[in-house]
Amino acid sequence: MTGGAVPDPFAMSDGSLEAPLPIVPTPAAMTGALRGRRVLIGLPGHGWRGDLRADEKVVQGSRTYVPVMQEGEWYRAEAEQTEVFAPLIPVERVWVEDFGIGGLTTGTDDLTSKLVSLDEPSRRSPVKALDAPRLTGLRVVRMLEAGEEQRDLRAVTEMHTNNDGDICVRVTTELEWYRWSWSGRVPRTLEVPVHMLWLE
């Protein structure tokens, strides 16, 4: 992330970037290839668990399952080409994080507007990093020119003022973020103006 031709993050200072697409969970049974996709597992009416990655569906007898592993283990397996244990979850208990349409939804303090159905995982709309109560360790999206999105990033700092007086956040790729935990190697980071970042 450091080095190479990187778009100048300070080129746009008017704050007019569009919001990234929201995350809309889709039943895994209704999707195609799953290898490497970010998924949620759970049971309607009970609850949901995220920060997981899937492998391709497998059929055993008359049932279809999805191998699911913690995201950090998936990154390690991919980076080091090793095998990891992935429990088989019945396909009807797995949802894939897809992207929906529409961007920003305005926040409200109305309790009723925050209620969701327990029949499936809820849609997750992006939140401006500037409006987030905290950032460190959370998934973020960097908005580039022409509405392009850079995903699979984690914030490694809170908002701060850089040497030029700009309000920024340092981010790293998820691979670097997880490698930090299994190797102790400090990740390469990129300083991004806060107006270009959203919580996923």
DSSP string of 8-70?
A: -TTS--S--PPPPPPEEEEEGGG-S--TT-EEEEEETTTEEEEEEEE---EEETTEEEEEEEE
Q: What would the mean pLDDT of 29-58 be, rounded to a whole number?
A: 96
Integer Cα distance of 98 and 26 in angstroms: 6
Regarding whether 139 and 193 lie in a shared domain, the answer is yes
- Give the domain extent around 176: 126-200
Tell whether 173 is covered by a domain.
yes
Query: Is 67 found in the same domain as 28?
Result: yes
CB 24 within 8 A of CB 100: yes
Structural domain includes residue 120: no
3, part of any domain: no
More confident residue, 108 or 80: 80
Residue 75: other Cβ atoms inside 10 A: 23
* Other CB atoms within 10 Å distance of the CB of residue 26: 19
**Tokens 């939140």, residue?**
127
Whether 1 is in a domain gets the answer no
- Give 133-163 pLDDT, tens digit per residue: 999 999 999 999 878 999 999 999 999 999 9
pLDDT in tens, 44-68: 999 999 999 999 999 999 999 999 9
How many other β-carbons are positioned within 10 Å of the β-carbon of residue 9?
18
> 97 with 24, same domain?
yes
- Residue 96 and residue 157 in one domain: no
Token digits for 3? 């080095």
Residue 112 lies inside a defined structural domain of this protein: no
Q: Is the pLDDT of residue 3 over 70?
A: no
Report the amino acid identity of residue 187: P
145 or 87: whose pLDDT is higher? 87
Query: What confidence category does residue 79 fall into, taking pLDDT thresholds of 50, 70 and 90?
Result: very high
Q: What pLDDT digit, counting tens, does each position of 182-199 carry?
A: 999 999 999 999 999 999
| Residue 114 covered by a domain | no
Domain with 154 in it: what CATH number?
2.30.30
pLDDT at 102: 65
Is the model's pLDDT at 111 over the cut of 90?
Answer: no
The single-letter DSSP state of residue 193 is: E
Judge whether residue 107 has pLDDT over 90. no
132 shares a domain with 96: no
How many domains is the chain built from? 2
Does 196 map to a domain?
yes
- Domain identity same for 188 and 136: yes
Q: What is the mean pLDDT of the segment spanning 122-133?
A: 94
In a domain, 8, yes or no: no
Given 32, 66, 101, the domain boundary residue is 101
> Considering the entire predicted model, what is its pTM?
0.84
DSSP string, 141-192: EEE-GGG-EEEEEEE-S--EE-TTS-EEEEEEEHHHHHHHHHH-PPPP-EEE
> Percent of the chain having pLDDT more than 90?
79
Kindly report the average pLDDT of the chain as a whole number: 89
